[in-house]
Structure 1
Amino acid sequence: MNEDQSFSFTLFEPHRTRQPKNDQPLVEVRPNGRIVFNKRATQLLDNNHFCMLGYDPSNRALGILPLGELQPNTFPVRYAAKGAYIGAKKFFKHFDILPGQLVENSPFKSGEFIGITL
């Protein structure tokens, strides 16, 4: 064996390492009118199953007011394993603010509202 010879070994690594998951609260507004909360952002909903939606045109912000019971004009909040979502296409069409592409933003609290800038 020749000890002067240098070898350059490439390791067998078929599995890519996963990027660490984003642990920050994040809300997506999708072109289909769905508002999607990641697992962290879902905590802001306090397990409420309904919400009212509002729009602030001067700040281009969406306001979500979590509610415990069904009332006129409420939207149901659907909980899933990885978060929650609200189907709100009528709301976005009413204000003519349905996004053409995915909008992803960190939610903020404004009084009782959960806010997202569009």
Structure 2
Amino acid sequence: MEFSFTMFTPHRTRGGKKDDPLVAVKPNGRIVFNKKAAELLGNHYFCMLGYDSENQALGIMPVAEQESNAFPVRYAAKGAYIGAKRFFRHFGILPEQVVENAPFRHGQYIGMKF
């Protein structure tokens, strides 16, 4: 008796590795950090945001204290998020769909190509 087995290969796979840091910008103005990327915030509860229009990059600078133009960081079991709709509207860069990218360090900033 001969057998000819066909191996199962799924048509679609779930997202990337959960160990990779990932930051997403959502159309509702939230900047969402997965658990690994949230570690870059260093347990700070506020951050300052900047935008580099030439390189189309978002800059997030964690700060220890609340300042007048600082945004609160909210931590959750799966990571963290920042509600920044006002920031995105100010620069006219609120995305129409989710934008995800790996974060990078640039001095005191956590950067993300937009």
Q: TM-score range, shorter-chain basis?
A: 0.7 to 0.9
Equivalent pairs counted in the alignment come to 108
- What corresponds to 1:57 in structure 2? 53
Aligned to 1:59, the other structure's residue is in SS state coil
Aligned to 2:61, the other structure's residue is in SS state strand
Q: Which amino acid aligns with 1:48?
A: H
Query: 1:68–1:101: structure 2 CA closer, same or farther, 3 Å change rule?
Result: same
Larger radius of gyration: 1
Gaps of 5+ in 1: 9-17
TM-score by length of 2: 0.86
Q: Which runs of 4+ in 1 moved over 4 A?
A: 5-8, 18-21
- What corresponds to 1:38 in structure 2? 34
- What corresponds to 1:85 in structure 2? 81
User: Alignment RMSD, CA only?
Assistant: 2.1
* TM-superposition CA deviations, 1:47-94 (whole Å, max 9, x none): 000000000000000000001110111000000000000000000000
Q: Distance in 2 between matches of 1:64 and 1:58?
A: 16
Q: Which amino acid aligns with 1:60?
A: Q
- Give the percent of matched residue pairs that are identical in Structure 1 and Structure 2: 65
Query: 1:58–1:20: structure 2 CA closer, same or farther, 3 Å change rule?
Result: closer
Gaps of 5+ in 2: 5-13
TM-score by length of 1: 0.83
